[in-house]
Amino acid sequence: MQKRSPRPDDKIDLSLELTGIIQEIVSRCLSLGHIDVNRILVCIGSNRIGRGGGLYGKLIPLRFKDGSSVLRYRGRLYAIPEISSNGHSCLYIIYFYMPRFFDLPWEEKLRVMFHELYHISPRFDGDIRRMGAVKKAHGHSKKHFDSLYAPELHAFKNHLHDTAYKDFLSMNSRDLYSRYRRVTAVKMKHPKPVIINS
């Protein structure tokens, strides 16, 4: 008698799973404890191999410098359109890219997640963590930037071994589509500032 292969599970929401991991991270990591996950929208972007770009993840702040809701530039006033999720006004969007992010080893997926979360301003005001006057995002060295959260990343990796999230992060893009009948996620184009006066 031929052995039947197991049937795929019903569905998985990638945004929901990654949001759950982010909630676990911020609840355990002091340097990220200022983050309110309710005001972050996790989206999945497309980054097909061979179509240019090498992004695994990206943080999009929804406010300007110092959390300002408007920016005056060349005599015009700009604002980013309001984005809400589950009744909360969002301050940030984090994109994780399919398939590049999901095809990383689970430890690298976590590193990408920590990296994007660490870009969030300590004031959690919709701005980024500004690391320098010129190179605002990473400061003088990306390696130094990554070192700032390295101890907490290491500790969280050890913690993750005892949770169901380890299994999720261990799956690559092919595994996800093999295991689940439906793979869903929040998808949205990058919001852009719009002119609110002229």
What residue ranges do the domains of the chain occupy?
Answer: 9-195
Residue pair 183/176 in contact by the 8 Å Cβ criterion:
yes
Predicted confidence at residue 1, as pLDDT, reads 37
Those residues whose C-beta lies under 8 Å from the C-beta of residue 80, and which sit 6 or more positions away, are 62, 63, 64, 69, 191, 192, 193, 194
Q: What pLDDT was estimated at residue 197?
A: 74
Asked whether the beta carbons of 91 and 125 are under 8 A apart, the reply is yes
pTM: 0.88
Which pLDDT tens digit goes with each residue over 7-54?
Answer: 567 899 999 999 999 999 999 999 999 999 999 999 999 876 544 456
Q: How many Å apart are CA 154 and CA 43, to the nearest integer? A: 25
Token pair of 177 as six digits: 């589509």
Of 138, 113, 148, 129, the C-alpha closest to 37 is: 113
Q: Which of 179, 190, 188 is nearest to 12 (CA)?
A: 179
DSSP assignment string, 80-134: PPP-EETTEE-SEEEEEEEETTTTS-HHHHHHHHHHHHHTB-TT-SSSB----SS
> For residue 121, what are its two tokens?
């301003």
Give the span between the Cα atoms of 91 and 94, in whole angstroms.
10
Would you state the structure tokens that stand for residue 7, as one six-digit string? 């049937």
All residue ranges of the chain with pLDDT < 50 are: 1-6, 50-52
At 52 the pLDDT is 46
